Chains A and B, each alone.
Chain A
């Protein structure tokens, strides 16, 4: 069974800080997703990656296939980054399995 664990569960930061959210998964995967969910429910796909690193603006996602681990980094954090960040892995069944999410609050 594919299980996804995220840490930390909750994170508070000051504006401008560098933020790291971690994701570990239990089985070999074909892809890993990072999602952002704002209050009210809307989910936006931030990254889909299967190896290495991807960057989009202030967001960077990395994955280590051997260690079954991925990280999402936010540089120069801003209050508008406050959201829940969800990691999801895609195994052999091609069905994404998601973690519980990391709730991030960035204070001005």
Chain B
């Protein structure tokens, strides 16, 4: 399978715990995006990387959230001290560097439930 891979697919955690999600993009893609999606809403931008550089972060990304892409390949999204409001699906997507526009490929998402 050469698509975007995310894991875990589902995570239930207690409030206050830390969680980490991993994304493996399509191998030649140098752009990697993280989005969050809640029920009835479209994906909301969180952050993106070009290679290993994190180029932009949304104001949605509080200081409890951190994302890394250490070698420009896979990425991790960590949420510290989870709150119930963090319950959502976290989507990873990848693409080639934007020129006139490139198709963006999404992973299956990682569902987070904070209880």
Name A residues whose Cβ lies closer than 8 Å to a Cβ of B: 4, 30-31, 33, 35, 40-45, 48, 50, 86, 88, 90, 93-101
Contacts and interface: CB of A to CB of B under 8 A. Distances in A.
Given A33-B104, A41-B109, A45-B103, A96 B33 contact: yes
Given A50-B101, A86-B42, A93 B56 contact: yes
B103 A90 contact: no
Contacts of B35: 98
A35 B106 contact: yes
User: By CB atoms of chain A within 10 A, which of B33, B41, B42, B102 has the most?
Assistant: B42
Given A41-B111, A43-B91, A100 B104 contact: no
B104 A48 contact: yes
A101 B112 CA distance: 21
B21 interface: no
B106 A43 contact: yes
22 contacts: A4-B42, A30-B100, A31-B102, A33-B104, A40-B108, A41-B109, A42-B108, A42-B109, A43-B43, A45-B104, A45-B105, A45-B106, A48-B101, A48-B102, A48-B104, A50-B100, A50-B101, A95-B45, A96-B33, A96-B45, A101-B41, A101-B42
Interface of B: 33, 35, 37, 40-45, 48, 56, 89, 91, 93, 98, 100-106, 108-109, 111
Task: Give 9 nearest A-B pairs by CB, closest first.
Answer: A31-B101, A98-B42, A43-B106, A94-B98, A41-B109, A98-B43, A100-B42, A48-B103, A42-B108
B41 A100 contact: yes
B103 A41 contact: no
A98 B104 CA distance: 12
A92 to B, nearest CB: 10
B52 to A, nearest CB: 17
A62 to B, nearest CB: 16
A40 B56 CA distance: 28
Contacts of B111: 41
